[in-house]
Each structure stands twice: as C-alpha cells, then as structure tokens.
Amino acid sequence: MAEHESLEFGKADFVLLDNVSLEEFMANLKLRFEKGRIYSYIGEVVVSVNPYRAMNIYGRDTIEQYKGRELYERPPHLFAIADAAYKAMKRRNKDTCIVISGESGAGKTEASKYIMQYIAAITNPSQRAEVERVKNMLLKSNCVLEAFGNAKTNRNDNSSRFGKYMDINFDFKGDPIGGHINNYLLEKSRVIFQQEGERSFHSFYQLVKGAPDAQLRSLHIQRDPTAYTYIKVGGQIKSSINDSADFKAVTDAMKVIGFTTEEIQTVYKILATILHLGNLKFGSDGDVTLIENSKLVSVLGDLLSTKDENVEKALLYRTVATGRDVIDKQHTHQEASYGRDALAKAIYERLFCWIVGRINDVIEVKNYDARVHGKNTVIGVLDIYGFEIFQNNSFEQFCINYCNEKLQQLFIQLVLKQEQEEYQREGIPWKHIDYFNNQIIVDLVEQQHKGIFAVLDEACMNVGKVTDEMFLQALNGKLAKHAHYTSRKLSPTDKNLEFDRDFRIRHYAGDVAYSVVGFIDKNKDTLFQDFKRLLYNSSNPVLKAMWPEGKLSITEVTKRPLTAATLFKNSMISLVENLASKEPYYVRCIKPNDVKSPLLFEHERCKHQVEYLGLLENVRVRRAVKRLLQGCGFEHDVAYGKTKVFIRTPRTIFSLEEQRAEMVKRIVLFLQKVWRGTLARMRYRRMRAALIIIRAYRRYKVKSYIREVNRRFKNVRGMKDHGKHVKWPTPPKVLRKFEEALRNIYNRWWAWMLIKDLSPEEMVQIRAKVATLECLKGQRADLGLQRAWEGNYLDSPGTASSFTLVSSDLQRKDKFMRVLFSCNVRKINRFNKAEDRALLITDRHLYKMDPVKQYKGYFSGPKDQLVVFHTKDNRDLIVCLQGIVPAGDSRIGELVGTVLSHFKSEKRKLQVNIVSPIHCSMNGRKCTVIVETKINQSQPDFTKSRSGYILSVPGN
C-alpha cells in the first residue's frame, strides 16, 4: 500500500503482514524502529514510536510531499494523517478530530505540535494577514501552555501535566480563523512536591534562571532554584532543558498572543508569590501560631498588591460565621501549613486557567456569520496525559488512567467494534475478533452510587473527620466482589499492597496499585474562603479577576462546590461526546524504552503497549476488508492491487450492480428514517415551545401573586391594626404552601408588634395566660383571661402585715426568689376535717405552712375552684380556692398559667390533668373527690363520703 519504501524497512502497513500474530507484529515494529522508520500504518491509524532524537523529517520539503496527497501515496507519517483529517474536513464539510494517545513519554506532545505545524503550513495560500496572525497565535499558544503546564518527570523531559484539547476553526476556503482550548486536570500537587529526580512546572525554573536581574530584584527572587523549598528538589537536577532561553521565548510568545505588559508582570509576580510561600515557616508560642520569617509577609503583600496585615491574618486565622456572629479562629501549626500549601496550589491552578482563558479570548472566532462566510468547520487535536504507573500512584494518576480508559473505550467503539458490527450486519462470515472491552473499568470508576468517584464524593460529604482509610473501607465494602478491584483486606496474601493504604485496579493497560493517601483532601480541594477574599481585594485588577468568588461575604451561604473527581468525570464525559461527534483519526504513540535511548527497543515494554492499545485487534479488523468480496463469492474473479481491486469478468460487475440495486432500497429506507426523525424532532420542538410558554405563564402568575402581596402589605407597619384587616390574595396552586408559610410569618410579626412594647411584668402575665390557654382551652368556661392577674392575693388590706411577716420569714429560711401565687383556700385533711388555710406557691416551694417539694397539679371541672396537688410521697393536698372577689370570678386559670409558665422558664415539665372525679391519696390511702352542686350552699365546703370526699359548691 504505502509507496517508496522497500521491504528492507519492513511492512509500512501492518495490514500487509503475511500472518497476523503478535510475534510478527513486534518483529516488524522493531525492524522499522531500528531502520529509522518511526511511523507505520494500521489502515488509517498511525503508529508512532518515540525516536528520542531529532529527525530531519518535518521540514518544508517533507510538508510539500504530503500536501494534498492521499493517505497511501507516501510513506507513513504524521503529516499524512493530518492531511487526511484536513481533506475530510474541507471536501466533505465534516468536523474531524485527531486523537493522540499513548503512555507518558511516548511522544504525544511532540506529535500534536507537528500536526499543528503542518496544518499551519498548508493553509492560507493567498497569504491573508489575518489568517497568518491566527496561525501564529495558535502555534505560540503551545509554547506558553507547555511552560506553565509541562514538567520534567522521570519518564519524560517535557511531560504534559494537564490534558489539552484544541479545536481549530476553518472558514469555507479551509483557512484557520480561530480556535479554542479546553484544559483538563492540571497536576497542581506538583507545585508543592515532586518525586525524586523530577521537577516542578517549567515556568518556575524559567523565571529563576532566565529573568533579567532587575526583574528578579523587583520580585525579591534569587537566581538559585535550590533556595526555594517548593522547587528545591527540581533545582538540583541537571537537565538538557535551556530554561534561560525558554524564558525569553515564552515571554515573546505571550506578547505575540496579546498579553499586556501588566498581565505578563502579574504572571511572574504570581510565580514569585508561590516560591516565597514555600519558604514561609510557622512556629508556636504556647497556643499561638506565628510566622517565623515575618519579613516574607511584606514581600507577599507587595507582590499581591494587598496589605501586609491582611496577608498575615489570612495565613494565621480563619474567619468563621456562627449564626450572626463572625469570629476569627486561629490556625494550628498544621492548619497554617496546610492552608499555605493549598493557597500555593490554588493560585497556580487559577493562573493556568486564566492563561488558557486569556489565550481563548484572543484566538476564538469573532464576528463570524455562517450565512455570509459559509459553514465553520473544525479539526480537533487531543493531546492528553498518557497512562501512568509510578512507584507511588495517587489521586492524579487515578484520574489520568481513568481518562485513558475513556479514550480507549472510544477507540474500541469507533474503530474496532463498529467495523466488526458492520460486517456482521452485512452477513459476511468471519472469525470473531476478541478485544478488551474496558467499559467495565469505566463503570467501576464513574458509575453513579457504586463507582469509585461516587464513593469518594460520598466520603467527602460526610460530616465530621473523614480519613482516607475510611474511604478505602467504603471501597472494600462496595466493590468486594468486583473482578477488577482488590485491596490488601480483600487479598490478605498480596504483600505488594499495604493494609489500610492501597487498592489495585486491573486496567486495560495493566494492573496499577493506588495509595489512598491524600485522596480525600485532593478531592475536596479545600481552600479557605479568607484567601479568596484576600486575593479578590487585591488592587491588582488581573489578580482580582482571577478570584471572583472572593466577593462573597463570610456570612453568605454558598452552594457546596463540585468535587475535583466530579468535575473531572464530567469534563471527560463531555470530551468523549465531543470526540464521538466528529470523524476521528488516530495516532497511537509507543515508548520504546524507559531510559530515553534512541537505540534501545525493549521488546517486553513495547509488547505490553501493543497489547493494551489493542493494535493487533485493529490489524485483524482492517484485514477483514478482503472478506467483502469473498463473502459475495468473487474471490476467484478478482485480483488485489496496492490501492485497487481488478475484476476479470462482466458477470461479477452485473452481480455487483444487482446488489447495488438492492442496497438502494435500504438507502431509501434510511432516508425515510432520517426524514421521519426530522419530523419527530420538529414535533418535539413545538411541544418544547409550548412547555416553555407554560413555564413562562406559571412564572408570571407567581410573580404577579408576590407583587400583589407586596402591594397589599406594603404599609401595614403604619396601620392601627398592623394589617389584620387586609385580605390575602388568592395564590396559584403551586404557592399554597408558600402562602401558608407567609401567613405564619405575618402572624408572628403581628403578634410581636402587639407585645414588643409590654413591660417585663406584663410579659410575665402574658406568658402565664398563654400557658393557661394552651392547657385549659375548652376545659373551663372561665379562665380569667380578661382581668389582670395579681398573683399574690394574701397581700391585701387586713392580712398584708401578717402575711408579709410570714412570707419574709419563709423567704429567709428557704431562700426562694419570688411568690408566684397565693390565696385563701378551704382544705380537707387526712382526718377528714375541712379547715381554712392559706396556699402560698413560690418559685421553689408550695406552702400550706409545711414545705412540700416535687409535685404535680390536678384540677377539677369548670364550675368549681377545686385543686389537688399530687406529691411523690402520696400526701396529696386537696384545696378549694376561696375568698374570691368578685364572687363569680375564677382563679384556677391564673394558678395553672402562673405555675406552668414558671416550669417552662426552668425547662421542667408539669403534668396537668382535668378530670372528674379526681383520684388522689391521703397519707397513702386511695380516695376520690367529686363536686356536687347544692342549692342552699353559701360557701364551698368538703364533706366525707364512702369513697373519699365531696366538695359542695353553691348552686347559683
């Protein structure tokens, strides 16, 4: 198929292998690598092996060889796949995308840059200035994003530590007119920590080594990366990267893109801020946390354009809202260190997202009208982190590997599965090709309620201290029977896993053990609100714009933000949907060795990648093309060329024409299906429009009701009855419960307006009367609510002096605070003798002279003044209130309300029963008290009966 390569370089297309086996595939791949042929085909898929050396195959001459050519006219190359995607977009007016996948260090980032360079080189033949400007900005954006998003790892000197998907927009002539960049999951933990042998993001080293001396002085930065805690490890690594030259290139690129001088200066101020934050040290003076090197606070205040004291307060204190109160809670040493590191990571992530957004502002298509300029088509280029297995795999590696599972699933669906199913639909017999369907892994991670992300989110939402170990326990409980999940608890003999720390996932690319340490914190992604307010209140407008949520007051209730896992899952689902909507082209990158050698081809290393990338299955699917003619029975009447099929006899042509006619029927059915779908969608749009109108009408009714309520009750505060006479408007059905709640609010306000000016003494009576009403309403006709309650009826002319003397003596003796109720009573004693007594109830005791504690009160029916006080020692007190003036009045309600109100104020319970007859106990003897009405009775009095006592009351 691919021309201009002799067999000494092996087969340029793996579909042409004599025997499709893993051994032949690996032998051909190794031969081509050793001969300097790093690109091969599997049909229309490009297999790329990282050469780990510069190769002279990307110049202008090479570009001209591939420009406008079909895929198989030239040897395999990235330019061929880029040209194929561009032609499909331009010729068929289709959106396309190029998906570049492979391990970390397999060459994905370089491949994406060469594809971008090729597209830029073949477009704009008329040399329009605007198109040249757009192309230049698209290319320069790579330089900037690599500086802030890439880092040196043990596997790769320029490893992308974020995912990037770029859409390039083309006009109807095929010239680029703009683009848009989406970024995914920046590995921000690298800001504060790097594994041995690795560096932080390039931008830090470029600043320290490449910035002019004057700029470094203004940023208070030394030209020594080992002087800064956050990048000290990376600062000691010798590297072939020229940070000084890269600093100038990045600064120039930012200027070309359109960053202002002030914006560029702010970017480097933020980098300097992070470096100084890493050097902040906290100490303790007793219970007080202090900043040991406090001079750095003023440096940070200067860089962040804010007050020093605000910086120090945000680092040492956390403002907490408790109801209406706002307090400053001092950090412990551990909390202060955590806050500092969280701030450093958050500032860098916010800076990176701002840079991406700033680039998008410049490169996005503007003032484009499809009706005037034609359809705007797109080529998407995906350069995203590769599958990673490190010594210690944490939350970031878990997300990265999940991302690769999603992309592999897309590859399976779009390339392998669909092609197989198409042949099966055609009824062509062939040998079934097995492939690893990793949907089970995708579900394991993202399934609602059961997936790892769901369990992690649930753990993060639990109240109280939640640890990573508790999250692992929850995983073990939910996924104990899952074939692709295990942990040390589930596999006690697996010593490669640590108890309460590790779990293992069987990925399509191999088994990976993850440490749960840090999963909870990284998923919550907590940053104290004080830092957001600090940065929002900066006088630097660029910095202020990066933190819009800092505008919120501490007392404002905000919605719980989505977790890092949920955000990443949603972005991956959206990415896959986006890619699936386009015609995909694939570049599968392979890493030949782990030591970055241009000569070494590690067989087992490459074999593992070939297996998990499903390349052999891809070859088998592509080989099935010949089965089409074989299935029709024409294999003896055709000959296969490199790009054409030659047919020997007319009979075959006639037969193909007959099958074509049959196919036309199916095409007609297909068109009918599409049209019916169009009609259904039109009906759906009409229904949706009706629904929108209904919703709008409902909103109108709700707003009208609220406006009417507001109009009617607007001035109730100034009305005499405070709006009691105002008629409520009829609410719409949906607001009936709302109206009920609104009425309750209004009634409470109305009641408050009535009582707010009452004196404390009047409030005591009000509470007592409310207590009476709650207890006795419907039980007695006269509760005495209309008169003033005096409470102390013994303190009256004639008895006042003697009563005052007695009560004062009792107060000194028993230390009570106040008298609740007193009056004359008629009582019956245990010897069945009725006698007059005085009843005195204080806030601590009930007196009939002798103190009796801990009691319950029982009251009789409506026409008498009978009261029975039950005591725990069964020595009940039976009395009838007397001496009431005027005679027809009642004091039962006052007695009940006063005592109940007092008990409520002390948060104690008083049991009140209204019964007839009353059952009681006189010195341990059970008896009953009944009330009888006698015509000739002048005063209530007690008499003995067979079952207890009778209270005779006047009949009129």
Write the single-letter amino acid at 773.
Answer: L
Which entry of 43, 50, 96, 105 is annotated as an active-site residue? Answer: 105
Q: Measured between alpha carbons, how far is 953 from 863 in angstroms, rounded to an integer?
A: 9
The answer to the question of whether 396 is labelled as a binding residue is: no
The answer to the question of whether 108 is labelled as a binding residue is: yes
Which entry of 40, 150, 156, 860 is annotated as an active-site residue? Answer: 156
Given a contact cutoff of 8 angstroms between Cβ atoms, the answer to whether 288 and 298 are in contact is no
Q: Provide DSSP, 638-683.
A: EEE-SS-EEE--HHHHHHHHHHHHHHHHHHHHHHHHHHHHHHHHHH
Q: Measured between alpha carbons, how far is 86 from 168 in angstroms, rounded to an integer?
A: 11
The answer to the question of whether 796 is labelled as a binding residue is: no
Which entry of 48, 109, 123, 251 is annotated as an active-site residue? Answer: 109
Given a contact cutoff of 8 angstroms between Cβ atoms, the answer to whether 772 and 900 are in contact is yes
Closest CA to 91 of 583, 535, 459: 583
The answer to the question of whether 106 is labelled as a binding residue is: yes
How would you classify the pairing of strands 925-934 and 948-954? parallel
> Residue 500, class by beta-carbon neighbours within 10 Å (0-12 exposed, 13-18 middle, 19+ buried)?
middle
Q: Provide DSSP, 8-74.
A: GG--SBGGG-SS--HHHHHHHHHHHHHTT--EEEETTEEEEE--SS--S-SSHHHHHHHTT--TTSS
Given a contact cutoff of 8 angstroms between Cβ atoms, the answer to whether 347 and 270 are in contact is yes
Reply yes or no on whether 332 is catalytic: no
Q: What is the dihedral of CA 77, 81, 82, 83, to 10 degrees?
A: 100
> Residue 414, class by beta-carbon neighbours within 10 Å (0-12 exposed, 13-18 middle, 19+ buried)?
middle
Given a contact cutoff of 8 angstroms between Cβ atoms, the answer to whether 159 and 153 are in contact is yes
Q: Provide DSSP, 539-559.
A: S-HHHHHT-GGGGS-TTS--P
Given a contact cutoff of 8 angstroms between Cβ atoms, the answer to whether 931 and 866 are in contact is yes
Q: Measured between alpha carbons, how far is 487 from 468 in angstroms, rounded to an integer?
A: 14
Given a contact cutoff of 8 angstroms between Cβ atoms, the answer to whether 272 and 303 are in contact is yes
Which entry of 28, 150, 159, 200 is annotated as an active-site residue? Answer: 159
The answer to the question of whether 107 is labelled as a binding residue is: yes
Q: Provide DSSP, 775-830.
A: HHTTT-S---TTSPP-SB-SSSTTTHHHHHHHHHHHHHHH----EEEEEEEEEE-T
Which entry of 198, 349, 388, 396 is annotated as an active-site residue? Answer: 388
Q: Provide DSSP, 874-895.
A: S--EEEEEE--SSTT---HHHH
Reply yes or no on whether 182 is catalytic: no
**Is the backbone of residue 878 left (phi > 0), alpha (psi -120 to 50) or beta?**
beta
Degrees, nearest 5: CA angle 907-910-914: 150
> Hey, what are 899's tokens?
């005592």
Reply yes or no on whether 883 is catalytic: no
Closest CA to 336 of 352, 351, 318: 318
Q: Measured between alpha carbons, how far is 596 from 908 in angstroms, rounded to an integer?
A: 80
- 755-781 burial: b if 16+ Cβ within 10 Å, else e: eeeeeeeeebbebbbebbeebbeeebe
- As beta bridge partners, residue 42 has 45
> Hey, what are 745's tokens?
């609010």
Reply yes or no on whether 104 is catalytic: yes
Given a contact cutoff of 8 angstroms between Cβ atoms, the answer to whether 284 and 290 are in contact is yes
The answer to the question of whether 109 is labelled as a binding residue is: yes
Reply yes or no on whether 159 is catalytic: yes
Q: How many CB atoms lie within 10 A of CB 875?
A: 15
Given a contact cutoff of 8 angstroms between Cβ atoms, the answer to whether 908 and 900 are in contact is no
Which entry of 380, 386, 723, 784 is annotated as an active-site residue? Answer: 386
Q: Which long-range contacts (CB under 8 A, 24 or more apart) does 868-877 make?
A: 868/918, 868/920, 868/929, 870/920, 870/921, 874/921, 874/923, 874/924, 875/830, 875/921, 875/922, 875/923, 875/924, 876/920, 876/921, 876/922, 877/827, 877/846, 877/848, 877/852
Reply yes or no on whether 808 is catalytic: no
Reply yes or no on whether 160 is catalytic: yes
> Hey, what are 73's tokens?
């006219």
Closest CA to 633 of 609, 658, 610, 613: 658
**What positions carry a catalytic annotation?**
104-105, 109, 156, 159-160, 386, 388
Annotated binding site for ATP: 102-109
Annotated binding site: 102-109
